[in-house]
């Protein structure tokens, strides 16, 4: 089975590269690393580009998702570093979001610029894939898992203001910059998609100061747990899933 893995950080304990390929798409070229995990082939993409230098608002989301789709990937696991909007969600915790709010401004959100396609996003993250992540994460010691959460996506690259966070926290649980349009594009390509979010900080106003160094440090600290959760999830995946992700577009045409 072919499984996509998208992250903004390398996951060396999981992805021991055996082959790197360049996948050409209508939206640009994407570097994909191939690795074996259990009986599956994992297609790893650093969403920030091969050199990991692209800021969130400049990521070529369409090329990344198209590269996985054209490689016949069946489902996608996304890894994201996020900030917490709620005191009950602490740095070091993991959140598996069930919904999102989009506050981005200038991204390319769809593959369907020339058709009237209104894809259903009532359950934006694959329920079956989410359940796999929740169940496997629960078996990893020393992990605090929040099995629901609303992911609010901001444009970036700046961090949010205190007042913005006060407003956002009325409706969302975590905040990041890369969740949208990635999840939407995966749905348009009829791929199952779920996200494992690592809380790396409290958002503005919930802690005194936030530095990029702190985010990187905490992600590195949690990397062994990320490896275990993803490995367990990938090894337990089968092609038989009780979801409708793979037939959403045909029902969205006008």
pLDDT in tens, 127-156: 999 999 999 999 999 899 999 999 999 999
- pLDDT of 81 reads 95
Tokens of 26: 């209508």
Domain ranges of the chain: 2-251
Residue 93 and residue 91: Cα distance in Å, rounded?
6
pLDDT score recorded for residue 236: 93
Question: What CATH number does the domain located at 2-251 have?
Answer: 3.40.50.1580
Q: Count of CB atoms within 10 A of residue 240's CB?
A: 6
Q: What is the mean pLDDT of residues 96-105?
A: 98
Q: Are strands 94-95 and 40-46 parallel, antiparallel or unpaired?
A: unpaired
Report long-range pairs for 215-220 (Cβ below 8 Å, ≥24 apart).
Answer: 215/81, 218/91, 218/92, 219/9, 219/81
Tokens of 84: 């917490």
pLDDT for the residue 246: 83
**How many CB atoms are closer than 10 A to CB 102?**
18
Task: For the chain, give the mean pLDDT.
Answer: 93
Percent of the chain with pLDDT over 90: 81
pLDDT of residue 76: 98
Determine the Cα–Cα distance for residues 138 and 111; give it in Å rounded to an integer. 36
Tens-place pLDDT, residues 211-243: 778 888 888 899 999 999 999 999 999 888 789
Contact 205, 166 (CB under 8 A): yes
Residue 22 structure tokens: 């360049």
3-state secondary structure of 165: helix
């Amino acid at each position: 089975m072919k499984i996509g893995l998208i992250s903004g950080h390398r996951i060396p304990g999981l992805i021991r590269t055996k082959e790197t390929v360049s996948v050409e798409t209508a939206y640009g070229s994407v570097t994909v690393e191939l690795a074996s995990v259990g009986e599956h082939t994992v297609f790893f993409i650093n969403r920030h580009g091969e050199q990991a230098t692209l800021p969130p608002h400049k990521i070529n989301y369409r090329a990344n998702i198209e590269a996985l789709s054209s490689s016949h990937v069946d489902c996608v696991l996304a890894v994201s570093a996020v900030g917490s909007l709620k005191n009950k969600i602490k740095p070091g915790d993991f959140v598996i979001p069930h919904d999102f709010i989009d506050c981005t401004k200038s991204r390319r959100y769809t593959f369907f610029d020339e058709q009237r396609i209104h894809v259903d996003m009532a359950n934006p993250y694959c329920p079956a894939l989410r359940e796999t992540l929740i169940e496997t994460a629960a078996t990893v010691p020393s992990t605090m898992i929040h099995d629901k959460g609303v992911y609010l996506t901001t444009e970036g690259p700046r961090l949010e203001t205190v007042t913005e966070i006060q407003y956002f926290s009325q409706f969302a649980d975590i905040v990041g910059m890369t969740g949208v349009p990635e999840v939407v594009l995966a749905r348009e390509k009829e791929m199952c998609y779920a996200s494992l979010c690592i809380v790396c900080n409290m958002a503005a106003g919930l802690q005194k100061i936030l530095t990029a160094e702190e985010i990187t440090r905490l992600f590195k600290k949690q990397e062994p747990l990320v490896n275990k959760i993803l490995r367990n999830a990938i090894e337990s995946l089968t092609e038989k899933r009780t979801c409708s992700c793979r037939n959403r577009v045909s029902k969205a045409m006008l």
